[in-house]
Amino acid sequence: LAKTTQPISMDSYEGQEVNITCSHNNIATNDYITWYQQFPSQGPRFIIQGYKTKVTNEVASLFIPADRKSSTLSLPRVSLSDTAVYYCLVGDMKGEYGGSQGNLIFGKGTKLSVKP
């Protein structure tokens, strides 16, 4: 599985746009890029997934350049409630541990702190 590198922490203020970049130089052809969000004392929650170019949903956008060696999660106009840890994951349908499903490897993530 491709190794990912993210900043350990980021600070922002309410109303700002936040961009969190993830590096994955060894991404494979079949790998997808997925982002999860985790609040304290809760399990992670899926935010967005993409393969190339740009993906947008109601909460975030994901930008993936042509070489796919990095990706950027963009959170528009953050609020205090967006304070959480954000994980970037790269993997495909055939997980490292075999089987017919995609195993996910969570790194340490990026701790985003939003201030008033």
Partner 1 sequence: NAGVTQTPKFRVLKTGQSMTLLCAQDMNHEYMYWYRQDPGMGLRLIHYSVGEGTTAKGEVPDGYNVSRLKKQNFLLGLESAAPSQTSVYFCASSYPTSGAVDEQFFGPGTRLTVL
Q: List the one residue out of 78, 67, 74 whose CA is nearest residue 88.
A: 74
102 part of the interface to partner 1, by CB under 8 A: yes
User: CA-to-CA distance for 101 and 67, rounded, in angstroms?
Assistant: 25
Q: Which residues pair with 49 in a beta bridge?
A: 34
CB of 14 to partner 1, least distance (A): 26
Q: Does 3 bind partner 1 (CB under 8 A)?
A: no
Q: Which of residues 36-55 bind partner 1 (CB under 8 A)?
A: 41-46, 49, 51
What gap in Å lies between CA 115 and CA 88, rounded to an integer? 23
Binding site for partner 1 (CB under 8 A): 32, 34, 41-46, 49, 51, 87, 91-93, 97-109
